[in-house]
Amino acid sequence: MEHIIGYPVEAERNLEKDIASLHPFSVFNSQTSRPMETAVIVAMGRDRAIGRDGDMPWHIPADLKRFKALTMGHPVIMGRRTWLSLPKGALPGRRNIVVTTDGGFRPEGAETASSPEEALALCAGDPMPFVIGGGRIYKAMLPFATRLYLTLVDAEFHDADTWFPEFSQTEWVPTGEEMPPEGEAGGLRYRFVNLRRR
Ligand SMILES: NC(=O)c1ccc[n+]([C@@H]2O[C@H](COP(=O)([O-])OP(=O)(O)OC[C@H]3O[C@@H](n4cnc5c(N)ncnc54)[C@H](OP(=O)(O)O)[C@@H]3O)[C@@H](O)[C@H]2O)c1
């Protein structure tokens, strides 16, 4: 790193890597051809539960409606298990991208990516792809996220088997965009919270 001015190509690449690790969210687009904004959208319980037996532990119609409105027109990135949980296959009106290590997997109506990084590279031209789960993909891709669209379900789900990863709330600030912020379905209270990375 001593030869910053007039450095050779390899050193320049290393410098870029160093900058990217310091400011990953401000340089993705120009330096790595990843999208400038990446959103994570998730519904979770107070205990960060998100899944049970390959499905969601609740049915909240307003959450599904919000999910559709927010993601429509954007690429959606998901893990193979979440893909398999979609009742009608590919989500219409959106590029469906399934992350899998199985190079022979051919999901109908969807593209595949062999890693989170490859999935983001496929979305480089989009203003904001959405990561839609599940647990393993959230964990792998939360570090890339600049936006979090949360549905916070006010209950604990002791029989859950999948959880959203822990995240530091101090790294995120509310955008104040969500209207209406609260509701109730099937005896479960929930609220919507939109956050952006500080
Ligand atoms: N509450 C919510 O908002 C919400 C949203 C979505 C899903 N869910 C729930 O979450 C559960 C599913 O989550 P899950 O954690 O079991 O599965 P998942 O994250 O949907 O999918 C896991 C699969 O994705 C692939 N994968 C994951 N990380 C990868 C990586 N770094 N590189 C390459 N491939 C990778 C692997 O596929 P291969 O095995 O093919 O390699 C892995 O088996 C379900 O219960 C679902 O209903 C909840």
Atom of ligand 1 at shortest distance to CA of 140?
A: 31
pLDDT for residue 113 is more than 60: yes
105 shares a domain with 12: no
Read off the CATH number of the domain in which 148 is found. Answer: 3.40.430.10
For residue 133, the CA-to-ligand 1 centroid distance in Å is 6
The enclosing H or E element of 39 equals strand 39-44
State how many domains the chain has: 2
Predicted pLDDT of residue 193: 95
Predicted pLDDT of residue 181: 81
120 shares a domain with 57: yes
Residue 160 Cβ inside 6 Å of ligand 1? The answer reads: no
Q: Measured between alpha carbons, how far is residue 63 from residues 118, 125, 190 in Å?
A: 28, 27, 9
How far, in Å, CA of 121 to CA of 63, rounded? 28
Predicted pLDDT of residue 178: 75
For residue 188, the CA-to-ligand 1 centroid distance in Å is 25
Q: pLDDT tens digit string along 131-187?
A: 999 999 999 999 999 999 999 999 999 999 999 999 998 999 999 877 778 899 999
For residue 44, the CA-to-ligand 1 centroid distance in Å is 15
Predicted pLDDT of residue 179: 75
182 shares a domain with 108: yes
Task: Give me the domain span that covers residue 143.
Answer: 33-197
Predicted pLDDT of residue 11: 36
143 shares a domain with 68: yes
107 shares a domain with 26: no
40 shares a domain with 28: no
pLDDT for residue 74 is more than 60: yes
How far, in Å, CA of 98 to CA of 112, rounded? 5
Pocket perturbation via mutation, ligand 1, pick of 77, 82, 161, 193 by most ligand atoms within 8 A of CB: 82
Predicted pLDDT of residue 28: 44
Residue 129 Cβ inside 6 Å of ligand 1? The answer reads: no
96 shares a domain with 167: yes
